[in-house]
Amino acid sequence: MNTIKIMGMSCQGCVKHIVKALEALPGATNVSVDFVSGTAQVDGVSSEAALAAVEEAGYQGKVQ
């Protein structure tokens, strides 16, 4: 499981946007984004691919 720390989320709409971006990655499973902790978790893809998807969606991220 890859965990990404996400900066810049301000609402549940942000969460939905990031979930959609991560779910669009080929092979992504078990996508979960937690607004309170500011993290996303995803299986089935590399941490680099997950981070790129978060950043392409317009948020800053860091692999944990």
- pLDDT tens per residue across span 37-54: 999 999 999 999 999 999
Residue span of the structural domain in which 45 resides:
2-63
Mean pLDDT for 53-61 is 96
Nearest to 53, CA basis, from 2, 36, 34: 2
pLDDT computed for residue 49 by the predictor? 96
What's the pTM value of the predicted model, to 2 decimals? 0.93
Tell me the CATH number at 38.
3.30.70.100
The mean pLDDT value for 22-49 works out to 96
How many domains is the chain partitioned into structurally? 1
Determine the pLDDT at residue 38: 96
